[in-house]
Amino acid sequence: MMLVHLPVFLVTIPIVASLLILAAGWHDRRFCHPIALATVLFQFGAAVVLLFGVMRGGPIHYHVGGWAPPLGIELVIDSFNGFILIVILLLSAAAVVYAKRSVEKEIPADKTVSFYVLFQLLITGLVGMTITGDIFNLYVFLEISSISAYTLISAARRPHSYVASFNYLVLGSIAAGFILLGIGNLYVATGSLNMRELAVMLPASYELATVHSAFLFLMIGFSIKAAVFPLHLWLPDAYAESPSVVTVLISTVMAKVSVYALFRILFTVFTTAYILDSFPVTGIVLFIAAVAIIAGAVLAIGQDDLKRLLAYSSVSQIGYIMFALGVANQIALEGGLLHILGHAVMKGCLFMVAGLIIYRMGTSRLSELKGVAKTMPVSCAAFALAGASMIGIPPTIGFMSKYYLVLGAFEAGHYLYAAVLLVGSLLAAVYIWKFIEVAYFGHPHGEEHGHAAGGGRNDRGKREAPLSMLAPVVTLALLCLILGMGVEVLMENVIGPAVTLLLGGA
């Protein structure tokens, strides 16, 4: 009986928790973090239970308020969004554990309560986007998460963070406008907002200009939200100027949920018959993805700031996920979904290490981090392992996802595009090596010509980061390896069925 109601608890309990954080925080702001952590851990546990329920008994449907579609809103858990839900809440849990000391360092004390309230609402919005079966309800949750993100990016209260937040607000609002127009056109064409019903009704209207325009509006809107090249202009500043824990959350989770929404609408609402036959776009998507893989990596190589380097690498890595959409066969899509998980874990670890370095060293500029591995060996080792996965070195999860993408491209006859994947990995090796070289082979200031009197090096960063921040970093780094070695279990039980569901339409 509890399993039936878990979907609605995933969104109602965190909303109540955000109010509880606000009320408890007025009394003592030390209550904020424990409440947020307990809530996210509950959500993660519920997501695991729901995914196992789906694997045993098929999709789970919940009608909010007892009103069945099309009059009511439906929450749906299937193998696709059940997998995405695990990714979201795994990274959210890691981010909340990491947040305690990071927030104390980077957020003004008088803003701690509002920070955790918005942090909780951001996660709630992303979870709601993932499990809703109503396309307008998806837009509502998108706005909840977006408004929270705009505010959190500026939480450090620095001039550059205000500019980054404003730029994201402007582009995010444009994206939301496109999405709302697309949803409106679908409603005009079908009279329904339920995704299952839309999939049934749309084939009769495939040739209508209203449907074509709805498709384009939704593609453009969610591509902006997912930072798909060349619509990524908001991303570098937003990632680089956010507080460290906010960067971790929006880089690992927020962009991935937008990619999820794009996949869900294309394959579940419009179905493969539309995107392959009636309005073929996969060739264009594949070309754009290939450009993104190269361009994002090249831009990353040119950065001196570690957070900005990782931000541009995200543009490249999102290109890999969109590459799977462009190929659109079983193997490539399996690689794409695996890369959603892999990139979330890898990039979460890398941005967390960047946050640890800022916490101890006070900077993320590579030119000022020479020899940092000597004083933060565990953090830098975690970066090296996650970086190896980003490059695609076996047996990490990054290698496995790219392996499936290459196989999918070969199966579809896209041999040149398969070569682009390999070039992207070589470029990733270059930008990851930039940090490795500085951290492990650079000499701290004062040591270039031997040890000067008095020890030579400055006193910043003489210790590793706090254990509460280091623990999620090490966990994510190890997951890069463990998930890669256990990929067959994932493919057989979760990702394979999810892709089969997508290619089968609704």
H or E segment and range at residue 77: strand 74-77
What's the total number of domains in the chain?
A: 1
Report yes or no: 260 and 141 within 8 Å, Cβ to Cβ: no
H or E segment and range at residue 164: helix 159-190
Residue 292 maps to a domain: no
Residue 424 maps to a domain: yes
**Of 310, 492, 504, 324, residue with least CA distance to 401:** 324
For residue 199 the two structure tokens come to 């999939």
For residue 61 the two structure tokens come to 């449907």
Q: What are phi and psi of 194, to 5 degrees?
A: -75, 130
Residue 437 maps to a domain: yes
Residue 48 maps to a domain: no
Residue 494 maps to a domain: yes
For residue 377 the two structure tokens come to 């060996």
Q: What is the pLDDT of residue 444?
A: 66
| 172-176: Cβ within 8 A, 24+ apart | 172/146, 172/224, 172/225, 172/234, 174/224, 175/220, 175/221, 175/222, 175/224, 175/225, 176/139, 176/142, 176/143, 176/146, 176/221
Per-residue pLDDT of the chain (506 residues; tens, 9 = 90+): 566 788 888 889 999 998 998 888 788 788 888 898 999 999 999 999 998 888 888 888 888 877 777 777 888 888 888 899 999 999 999 999 998 888 888 787 778 888 899 989 999 999 999 999 889 989 999 999 999 988 888 887 778 888 888 888 999 899 999 999 999 999 988 888 888 888 888 888 888 888 889 999 999 999 998 888 888 888 888 888 888 888 888 888 888 888 899 988 988 888 888 888 778 888 898 999 999 999 999 999 988 888 889 989 989 999 999 999 888 888 999 999 999 999 999 999 999 998 888 888 878 788 888 888 888 888 889 999 999 998 988 889 989 999 999 999 998 888 899 999 999 999 999 999 988 888 888 776 555 444 433 333 444 445 777 888 889 999 999 999 999 888 888 888 888 888 888 887 44
3-state secondary structure of 172: helix
Report yes or no: 468 and 105 within 8 Å, Cβ to Cβ: no
**Of 227, 225, 224, 260, residue with least CA distance to 85:** 260
Q: What is the pLDDT of residue 291?
A: 93
Pairing assessment for the beta strands 74-77 and 60-63 based on DSSP bridges: antiparallel
Domain that holds residue 398: 331-444+461-500+502-506
Residue 438 maps to a domain: yes
What one-character DSSP code corresponds to residue 456? S
Residue 245 maps to a domain: no
Give the end-to-end CA distance of the chain in Å, rounded to a whole number. Answer: 26
**Of 258, 240, 300, 255, residue with least CA distance to 425:** 300
For residue 80 the two structure tokens come to 């696709």
Residue 395 maps to a domain: yes
